[in-house]
């Protein structure tokens, strides 16, 4: 691969930092038809093929413009000429309106992740480059982000069943266009990139650095790398602190032995709440300095009592999410995932045990505050099962597997940045 494309050697080095990969790795790449993602597809396909693997290019049509379907088909055609398998994914029901960019992004990630899961693909590559990273840092700075946010986009994100890789974070967009020009591959320009009512295109215009090689862009990327290195060190330190001071229980609560740092407490509270983002730094810092019974960001802090010395972090019952259909893969409250539901009838729902915890107190020594937030399965008003309590009996619960799997683990894979 080293002499096949410009950037091949750098791309292989970036991928090596994400390894090791399984033999004959299967990759997916999110492709928009723009120069960055088209270049990513060429590089990734060559890298995978050299190792006996394959690439599936996933092109998402958001359905927001009449021209989008034709542009997606054209991008697919360009890639197929180079022997790259492609699939166009349609997003239904996405309407224009408030927070459209955020909603489109969320919908795009959802359909990409669902497709990877269906195909058994473990690695999803995204084409964010150096200029994208610079803009991300600017946006987070303008939004008052803390040091962790100023690290920008992570080069590697790991979740249950999928790794998201960004191997181009230190590559300028100009070099990606040069690769396509050298290979005679065309690309399209997304008109939304010229919408100056959106923050990212506006910042791109104000930077006046289309090639992504100017001093401001390079300084922002360097700052993100430095912040990323610091973030990685902090996350490793927090992981060690949690191993020594916290016990995370399968029922979705934490037994904590203070003192702990604000960073460790923030990570625990985010995991217990199932939230996508951590609680307010200032409030958590005060609580870490002086633990006291309180409620913060959907988490109750209470003394451990009969569970021993220390404190409990428990999901606040009134903040728990509404019930969801009990189908394999369903996630309730951002915390519990139904892995298997053998014997559950169609129409069953997964949600909080709630008030019915009172009549099941005899099944567990856990406090009522925890019992109320346990995942329960119902059919209408009928309580079918509470797996963590083995209710109604162990045999019924044998084929039902509900695990505590918060969207942001308290100590997951440490932050990875571009040159890590």
- Please state, in angstroms and rounded to a whole number, the distance separating the CA atoms of residues 356 and 303: 23
For position 374, what pLDDT does the model report?
A: 98
Residue whose structure tokens are 């797996």: 387
Tokens found for residue 229: 């290195």
> 207 with 132: CB under 8 angstroms?
no
Residue whose structure tokens are 């394999």: 328
Domain boundaries of the chain, sorted by first residue = 8-224, 229-315, 318-404
> 82 with 185: CB under 8 angstroms?
yes
pTM of the entire predicted model: 0.77
Give SS3 for 406. Answer: coil
CA atoms within 13 A on the CB side of 141: 13
Q: Give the ranges where 51-129 is alpha helix by DSSP (H).
A: 68-81, 100-119
CB atoms within 10 A of CB 384: 21
- Please state, in angstroms and rounded to a whole number, the distance separating the CA atoms of residues 354 and 260: 31
Residue 246 φ/ψ region, left for φ over 0, alpha for ψ in the -120 to 50 degree band, beta for the rest: beta
pLDDT along the chain (420 residues), means of 10: 75 92 95 93 96 96 80 93 94 74 84 93 96 90 81 87 93 94 87 66 77 86 88 90 96 96 95 91 93 96 93 97 94 94 92 96 96 97 96 93 90 67
Q: Which residues contact 359 (CB under 8 A, 6 or more apart)?
A: none
Residue whose structure tokens are 């996630």: 331
Per-residue CA distances from 322 to 17, 27, 243, 369 (Å): 40, 35, 32, 17
- Please state, in angstroms and rounded to a whole number, the distance separating the CA atoms of residues 154 and 133: 9
Residue whose structure tokens are 């497709």: 115
Total length of the chain: 420
φ and ψ of 249, to 5 deg: -95, 150
C-alpha radius of gyration, the chain, whole number: 24
Angle at 338 between CA 333 and CA 339, to 5 degrees: 145
CATH class assigned to 8-224: alpha beta
Tokens found for residue 303: 């003394």
> 375 with 402: CB under 8 angstroms?
yes
For position 197, what pLDDT does the model report?
A: 65
């Amino acid at each position: 691969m080293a002499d096949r494309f410009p950037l091949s050697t750098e791309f292989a080095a970036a991928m090596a930092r994400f390894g090791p990969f399984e033999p004959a790795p299967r990759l997916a790449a999110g492709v928009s038809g723009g120069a960055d993602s088209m270049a990513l597809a060429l590089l990734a396909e060559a890298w995978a093929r050299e190792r006996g693997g394959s690439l599936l290019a996933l092109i998402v049509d958001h359905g927001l413009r009449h021209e989008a379907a034709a542009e997606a088909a054209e991008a697919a055609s360009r890639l197929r000429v180079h022997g790259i398998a492609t699939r166009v994914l349609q997003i239904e029901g996405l309407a224009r309106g408030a927070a459209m960019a955020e909603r489109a992004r969320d919908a795009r990630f959802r359909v990409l992740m669902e497709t990877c899961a269906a195909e058994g693909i473990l690695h999803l590559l995204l084409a964010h480059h150096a200029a994208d990273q610079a803009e991300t840092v600017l946006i987070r700075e303008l939004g008052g982000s803390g040091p962790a946010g100023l690290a920008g986009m992570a080069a590697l994100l790991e979740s249950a069943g999928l790794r998201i890789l960004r191997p181009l974070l230190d590559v300028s967009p100009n070099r990606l266009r040069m690769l396509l020009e050298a290979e005679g591959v065309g690309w399209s320009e997304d008109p939304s990139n010229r919408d100056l009512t959106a923050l990212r295109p506006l910042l791109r215009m104000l930077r006046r650095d289309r090639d992504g090689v100017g001093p401001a862009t390079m300084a922002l990327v360097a700052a993100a790398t430095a912040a990323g290195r610091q973030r990685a060190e902090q996350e490793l330190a927090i992981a060690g602190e949690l191993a020594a001071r916290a016990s995370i229980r399968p029922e979705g609560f934490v037994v904590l032995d203070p003192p702990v740092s604000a960073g460790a407490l923030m990570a625990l509270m985010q995991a217990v709440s199932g939230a996508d983002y951590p609680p307010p730094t200032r409030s958590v810092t005060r609580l870490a300095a002086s633990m006291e019974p309180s409620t913060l960001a959907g988490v109750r802090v209470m003394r451990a009592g009969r569970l021993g010395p220390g404190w409990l972090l428990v999901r606040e019952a009134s903040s728990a999410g509404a019930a969801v259909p009990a189908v394999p893969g369903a996630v309730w409250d951002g915390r519990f995932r139904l892995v298997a539901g053998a014997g559950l009838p169609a129409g069953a729902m997964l949600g909080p045990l709630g008030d019915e915890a009172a009549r099941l107190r005899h099944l567990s020594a856990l406090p009522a505050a925890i019992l109320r937030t346990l995942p329960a399965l119902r059919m209408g008003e009928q309580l079918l099962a509470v797996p963590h309590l083995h209710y109604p009996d162990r045999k019924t619960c044998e084929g039902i597997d509900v695990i505590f799997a918060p969207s942001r683990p308290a100590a997951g894979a440490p932050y990875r940045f571009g040159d890590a």
